């Protein structure tokens, strides 16, 4: 975020919802001599998107796919890198230069107390929410019994270590003593790891009776 803010990402810049730290870091970076900023701005301009969400999304995808500082190199195989992140491959060396020249490590250490204080506001509400969800799921689990599932009309496609199965799910079960039935088109995405296929996504939408 520090890098793209420094070269032109201004979405919600004036919002009252922003933490003052965002503006403080922008002002601090503006004081520093960062030779890589020109090349970084050129890269940013060439990868502009039609919406702010799409623009930010590609950089979040990049951040989740790379090793982070100081090299920012991709650690996954090419087939595992999301397309929007793969399109930013040349950003790695620019980020490495920016991180060093702007002394981002120093900025991070100085900002950490403010970040920790901000996150602490959400710790208790999040814990309470998780506990409530866990209680609800335990209650639901006890209310469901006699589950019987059938997959029909299955078709599969495999691309390297990624496989996709499309099928139709027919499922009968009892919920709080009442018999239930769902019929749903279903997609299952699998990834091969160490010679074994593992489910990474199960998507099923029951159709109304």
Using CA atoms, how far apart are residues 32 and 34, in angstroms rounded to an integer? Answer: 6
- In the chain, domain spans: 2-102, 144-204
| Residue 138 structure tokens | 């335990």
Q: Say what angle helices 104-143 and 20-31 make with each other, to 10 degrees.
A: 150
pLDDT single digits (tens) 179-198 = 999 999 999 999 988 888 99
CATH class of 144-204: alpha beta
The strand pair at 162-175 and 178-193 is best described as antiparallel
What radius of gyration, in Å, describes the C-alpha atoms of the chain? 24
pTM score, whole prediction: 0.61
Which of 138 and 72 is assigned the larger pLDDT? 72
Mean pLDDT for 77-95 is 90
């Amino acid at each position: 975020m520090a890098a793209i803010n420094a070269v032109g990402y201004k979405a919600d810049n004036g919002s009252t919802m922003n933490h003052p730290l965002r503006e403080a870091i922008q002002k601090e970076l503006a004081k520093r001599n960062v030779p890589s900023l020109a090349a970084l701005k050129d890269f940013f301009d060439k990868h502009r998107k039609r919406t702010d969400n799409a623009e930010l999304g590609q950089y979040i995808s990049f951040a989740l796919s790379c090793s982070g500082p100081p090299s920012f190199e991709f650690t996954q195989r090419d087939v595992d890198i999301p397309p929007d992140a793969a399109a930013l491959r040349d950003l790695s060396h620019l980020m490495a230069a920016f991180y060093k020249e702007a002394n981002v490590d120093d900025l991070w250490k100085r900002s950490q107390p403010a970040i920790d204080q901000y996150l602490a506001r959400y710790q208790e509400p999040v814990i309470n929410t998780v506990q409530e969800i866990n209680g609800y799921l335990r209650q639901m689990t006890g209310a469901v019994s006699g589950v019987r599932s059938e997959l029909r009309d299955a078709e599969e496609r495999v691309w390297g270590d990624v496989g996709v199965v499309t099928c139709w799910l027919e499922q009968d079960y009892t919920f709080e003593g009442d018999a239930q039935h769902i019929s749903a088109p279903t997609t299952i995405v699998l990834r091969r790891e160490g010679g074994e296929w593992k489910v990474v996504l199960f998507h099923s939408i029951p159709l109304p009776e």
